[in-house]
């Protein structure tokens, strides 16, 4: 499974989200051998780039990927918000995690 954090420039905001996702997976003791997390800019992102796309909600409509793959975030630095979305995905994909 590939998760991609996307922002306008692929420099700052997307990396913040990537960092949060990686920390969350680690805290929840998720086996990440089959999960990759990366960041990219809107321009270079297509439907095939990943399975799930995390992005700022103001950019969500600019993303050229199927809507059901897009997770719009209200706040990029709110780890709790990101965590809820990540846990939803983990449940859907039947991946074990430590809920807390």
User: Contact between 49 and another protein (CB under 8 A)?
Assistant: no
Query: At its nearest, how many Å lie between another protein and the CB of residue 44?
Result: 11
Is 13 one of the binding residues for another protein (CB under 8 A)? yes
58 is an interface residue for another protein by CB under 8 A: yes
How would you classify the pairing of strands 70-73 and 52-56? parallel
Q: How far is the CB of 54 from another protein (least distance, A)?
A: 13
Give contact residues for another protein (rule: CB under 8 A). Answer: 7-13, 15-16, 19, 56, 58-59, 62, 75-79
């Amino acid at each position: 499974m590939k998760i991609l954090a996307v922002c306008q420039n692929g420099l700052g905001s997307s990396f913040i989200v990537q960092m949060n996702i990686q920390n969350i997976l680690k805290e929840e003791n998720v086996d990440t051998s089959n999960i990759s997390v990366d960041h990219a800019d809107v321009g270079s992102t297509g439907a095939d780039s990943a399975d799930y796309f995390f992005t700022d909600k103001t950019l969500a409509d600019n993303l050229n990927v199927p809507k059901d793959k897009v997770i719009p975030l209200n706040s990029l630095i709110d780890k709790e918000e990101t965590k809820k979305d990540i846990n939803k995905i983990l449940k859907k994909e039947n991946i074990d995690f430590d809920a807390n």
